Amino acid sequence: MNTHSAIGSLAVAFVLFSACNASAAPIPPLGPVDITGTVVQARWIPEQKIKGIHGMSGTLGIDRVKRAHFVVALEQYEGVDAKTARQMTGYLGASAPREPASTQAPQRILLQLNHDDRDYLKKGMRIIVKGYKIAGDEGGTWTDYKEISVLQTEKQ
């Protein structure tokens, strides 16, 4: 093997190695932040058992349980800047509304809030989520928070 083909082979191997490592890396975590907003949608999803895919890295390769949770859309929110609001909403994948790239805050922010009681959150509530954090990897997104407080129920 001549020097040029050896260097070329090493370059290809480096690119492939870097691409594989990048795809297995966790997403950059966000938070903790305190977010206040008005619930405009609250969809409850029961606990799910997810089968790992043999040979895959991260959580994608292991059997896991995704806790029961709400996917909540908040409007009139505060506590995060526009960039963080877009990132948090985007981490929830297909559930995220497609907002044009902008420096302005999106109208809504999506949160994933673990909770076993399907009747806990309702449209129209004003809530504060304290210590909200979001992270994940190729196997999915997970969130955590310290506390949810209902500040106001739906106006009658």
Please spell the DSSP secondary structure of 16-78, one letter per residue. Answer: HHHHHHHHHSPEEEEEEEEEEEEEEEEEEE--EEE---TT--GGGGS-EEEPPEEEEEEEEEE
Q: CB within 8 A of 98, min separation 6: which ones?
A: none
Residue with tokens 């908040």: 74
Reduced to 3 states (helix: H, G, I; strand: E, B; else coil), residue 14 is helix
Reading the block at residue 89, the tokens are 């909403």
Q: Which CATH class is domain 27-152?
A: mainly beta
Q: For residue 123, report the phi and psi dihedrals to the nearest 5 degrees.
A: -55, 140
What's the pLDDT at 7?
47
Q: CB within 8 A of 77, min separation 6: which ones?
A: 35, 36, 37, 38, 85, 108, 109
Burial of 66 (0-12, 13-18, 19+ CB in 10 A): middle
pTM of the model: 0.73
Reduced to 3 states (helix: H, G, I; strand: E, B; else coil), residue 99 is coil
Q: For residue 154, report the phi and psi dihedrals to the nearest 5 degrees.
A: -55, 135
Beta bridge partners of 140: 137
Tens digit of pLDDT at every position of the chain (156 positions): 555 544 444 444 443 333 343 444 578 899 999 999 999 999 999 988 888 788 887 777 777 888 899 999 999 999 999 999 998 888 876 444 455 556 778 999 999 999 999 999 999 999 999 999 998 877 778 899 999 999 988 764
